[in-house]
A and B are shown apart, each in its own frame.
Chain A
């Protein structure tokens, strides 16, 4: 049987400037020199699950296919093992490009509702900002609450095991100088806002 095996990309699906935007992120500059060799896809332990292999993601980013990239499951499957980054013959920091893409997908809400990975990142950063430290058991409970409360039932055995081994921490770990940390993070935010305003002018 003959059927269509490849879809054709259209000019209209491109968001001009997206590739350039990603390549301007510190650490992502080398993307321009990608030779599409596929070493990243070959070395990636998660690529078998990915809708687009890392090599395809690199090509799509460079060609401005913003929506396709930000909605791809590939960026969330990246577990930051840095195998691709170490192997890339063009020294492209693929893991860091994945971070830049995750960041934009979160800011633009371009991920499936209740998808646990971006929710974990958001809850993680919220806890760090409020407490200065992470209490893992409380973070996981927040994740369940926000992403899939039914998952609690699947995890009861593990929860009991953690209690038994004295690792189930219910009290928040936190730093003393939380105000100092908050001031620092606000200062970074304010600088970013100023820079963004300047760019608009």
Chain B
């Protein structure tokens, strides 16, 4: 199984633990990932408010490079990148004006965009291409007894995702259950984490983060599983600021790929778990294989 891979800026920076855990987990499952040559920032949410067509050109350059890489689907682990690249595919398909401007800009760079590369999230690949039965075979250290709140965030499932529901996605629930974890019902699973508002308007952003942490704590979660580097950063790196304002919400947040790695028996450090501000408790020895 071979895919093209677009890491995005976060996975090389604040969210590097996501990449550190994604790569060995995929390798273990026999999924080959080819990182796009000289990929650029997807434009995220910010570039759309500066210039729509330039934002499209940014995405199109990556998609054109992906087409050049080969006839592979593109794995995009960051929710923002996943949304933006899919969104720009819609813009390029629907607006002849944008398409012609962007194609002209690509020509100058010796690139071409045909729209043929599906942009997909690792959750989609894992559950629908690899399959839960294959994943189950690799589990050597089941997460039995670990209570997990599955948190998907907003941009992964809205509005362009086709592999799961916009309000009540279940792909990660099923994946975590396959690892042996106890997956809690978590009604806030797609509610906004506050995004960059935690940094720009802390009073507002932190409250959204707090609401999620409080709900997870209330439900007795040992850990929150996330799919997005920005969600992870808000829930983890602002954890102390949230607690200073509103009191204890003692739940760590990790990437779902880190939980997969643990279940596959990979060492915590290799999965980037030491990068958390709020550390996840080591799995009880009882969970280790006999």
Among the interface residues B16, B58, B95, B155, which one has the most CB atoms of the partner chain A within 10 A?
Answer: B58
CA distance A135 to B276 in the complex (A): 19
B204 to chain A, nearest CB (A): 6
B237 touches A185 (CB 8 A): no
Question: What are 25 A-B pairs with beta-carbon distances under 8 A?
Answer: A26-B95, A26-B98, A45-B191, A77-B197, A79-B195, A80-B45, A81-B191, A83-B154, A86-B159, A100-B52, A103-B49, A103-B51, A116-B201, A120-B46, A121-B47, A128-B41, A158-B237, A158-B238, A162-B237, A165-B275, A165-B276, A173-B9, A175-B40, A181-B40, A191-B53
Residues of A112-131 at the interface with B, using a CB-CB cut-off of 8 Å, are: 116-118, 120-122, 124-125, 128
Residues of B158-213 at the interface with A, using a CB-CB cut-off of 8 Å, are: 158-159, 166-167, 191-192, 194-197, 199-202, 204, 208
Interface residues on A, range: 35 or more
**A79 touches which one: B52, B194, B274 (CB < 8 A)?**
B194
| B94 located at the interface, meaning its Cβ lies under 8 Å from any Cβ of chain A in the complex | yes
| A132 located at the interface, meaning its Cβ lies under 8 Å from any Cβ of chain B in the complex | yes
A52 to chain B, nearest CB (A): 16
Q: Mark B30-45, 1 if CB is under 8 A from A, else 0.
A: 0000000011110111
| A145 located at the interface, meaning its Cβ lies under 8 Å from any Cβ of chain B in the complex | no
Q: Mark A120-155, 1 if CB is under 8 A from B, else 0.
A: 111011001000111111001001000100000010
**A117 touches which one: B61, B95, B200, B241 (CB < 8 A)?**
B200
B159 touches A135 (CB 8 A): no
B201 to chain A, nearest CB (A): 7
Residues of A71-89 at the interface with B, using a CB-CB cut-off of 8 Å, are: 77, 79-83, 85-86
| A184 located at the interface, meaning its Cβ lies under 8 Å from any Cβ of chain B in the complex | yes
A133 touches B54 (CB 8 A): no
| A36 located at the interface, meaning its Cβ lies under 8 Å from any Cβ of chain B in the complex | no
Known: A79-B192, A125-B47, A161-B237. Is A184-B109 also a contact (CB below 8 A)?
yes
Interface residues on B, range: 35 or more
A86 to chain B, nearest CB (A): 5
B14 touches A99 (CB 8 A): no
B46 touches A188 (CB 8 A): no
A106 touches B192 (CB 8 A): no
By beta carbon, the residue of chain A nearest B53 is A188
A49 to chain B, nearest CB (A): 6
B12 touches A80 (CB 8 A): no
B54 touches A99 (CB 8 A): no
B159 touches A85 (CB 8 A): yes
B53 to chain A, nearest CB (A): 5
